[in-house]
Amino acid sequence: MNEAVKTLDGWYTLHDFRSVDWPAWREVAENERTRILTEFSHFLGDLEITKKFGEGEQTIYSIVGQKADFVFLTLRPTLEELNEIETRFNKLAIADYLLPVYSYVSVVELSNYLANHMAGGEDPYQNKHVRARLYPTLPQKKHICFYPMNKKRNGADNWYMLPMEERQGLIAEHGKIGRSYAGKVQQIIGGSIGLDEFEWGVTLFSDDALEFKRIVTEMRFDESSARFAEFGSFFVGNLMPVEQFESYFGM
């Protein structure tokens, strides 16, 4: 049997995409809308306390297009914590007007090969650079791009039948493209084999949305993507600070 890749795993991640039921929201009285938004603000404030203790992360982006209106991106040490936050959110009054349209579950991962290279022989989990990748601080970038992807398992283009050395070489070349966008694009790779319908969920952050087009285009011409990559839907959006929610939901 071909050698399976080993990974280091960090925080569990939930991308929770919602659409606003605008017709129903317009029917809500102004004082009730204020109460609902205040409750939601307190909920987000509670999550920020966890973030300040370094025990998780979260952010909200509005989504451009008709696939969704928002994505609530949450990272926590355990699946139980993600589930608890999701359940608390669903019990809020505002959840009656934010309809679930898509979700994605993964765990932030780093290949064991790359992690050991970064750690230089040290315990990778104790290396600050490795930990920064596994337990990331979400950047306050203007734009987000999320997409799920697989590696092909078709005929001659079967990623999982390649020898480990060949896979490592292809990934190393692929990684060079990503590193060339340092300072322009920050990415989080979520492993989702056995957790969701695709094998990875990729989240990109940038202050210039055109950088998403540039990096994905360049990577499509790389052999590891050109031969072996299959992509799901792309979701692109804009950072939504909490203080903007009142004006966004205002009538």
Residue numbers annotated as active site: 147
User: Which residues, other chains included, contact 232 with Cβ-Cβ below 8 Å and sequence gap of 6+?
Assistant: 147, 148, 149, 197, 198
Alpha-carbon distances of 238 from 61, 70, 146, rounded to whole Å: 5, 9, 12
CA distance 49 to 247: 24
User: Which residues, other chains included, contact 191 with Cβ-Cβ below 8 Å and sequence gap of 6+?
Assistant: 7, 9, 106, 107, 108, 109, 199, 200
CA distance 186 to 143: 11
CA distance 70 to 183: 25
Q: How many CB atoms lie within 10 A of CB 32?
A: 11
The answer to whether the CB of 202 falls within 8 A of the CB of 40 is: no
Q: Which secondary-structure segment (H or E) carries 132?
A: helix 128-134
Work out the angle between the directed axes of helices 210-220 and 164-179 (0-180°, nearest 10). 150
